[in-house]
Amino acid sequence: MGRGSEISLLRGISAPRVVLPYSAQEAWAQLAELQDAAAHEAWAELAEFHEADAQLAFAQEAFAQLAEFHEADAQLAFAQEALAQLAWFQEASAEAVLAQLAESNATPPAPSGATKSFRAALGFGGVPPDRPA
């Protein structure tokens, strides 16, 4: 009897066996290689994802810092404008004070009338003005 007509105890009479181009061991090896390649590709994609995620976090942090910079720049501009207005006000106020001072110094003070030295101070004693001392 030839090899194709052997009797198997488990299967009964078997049909002639077809010889496959490679063995089961070769098939398992090829399957393992495919799984290994797929795992490496998955790890590479995961690493790319993590790199992209890190870059996104970095970009978001940079945008947040840029927004803080713009806010600080706006506050600085506001403070500079306030200082400029304060300086203008102080200069205008100083000019007004100088103008008033110059005007008050331009005319001599009005002469005061003669005062009597023996006049009663608020009615508390002293010599009356119509009586000689």
Q: Tell me whether residue 76 is in a domain.
A: yes
Q: Tell me whether residue 5 is in a domain.
A: no
Q: How many domains does the chain have?
A: 1
**pLDDT tens digits, one per residue of 13-38:** 555 555 556 688 888 899 999 999 99
Q: Tell me whether residue 70 is in a domain.
A: yes
Q: Specify whether the CB–CB gap between 4 and 16 falls below 8 A.
A: yes
Q: Tell me whether residue 109 is in a domain.
A: no
Sign of CA dihedral 88, 94, 97, 99: negative
Q: Between 81 and 18, name the one with better pLDDT.
A: 81
Q: Tell me whether residue 133 is in a domain.
A: no
Work out the angle at residue 29's Cα, subtended by the Cα atoms of residues 23 and 33, and round it to the nearest 5 degrees. Answer: 145
Structural domain containing residue 56: 20-104
Three-state DSSP class for 48? helix
**pLDDT tens digits, one per residue of 98-127:** 888 887 776 555 666 666 555 555 556 655
Q: Tell me whether residue 56 is in a domain.
A: yes
Q: Tell me whether residue 116 is in a domain.
A: no
Q: Tell me whether residue 111 is in a domain.
A: no
**What pTM value is reported for the model?**
0.40
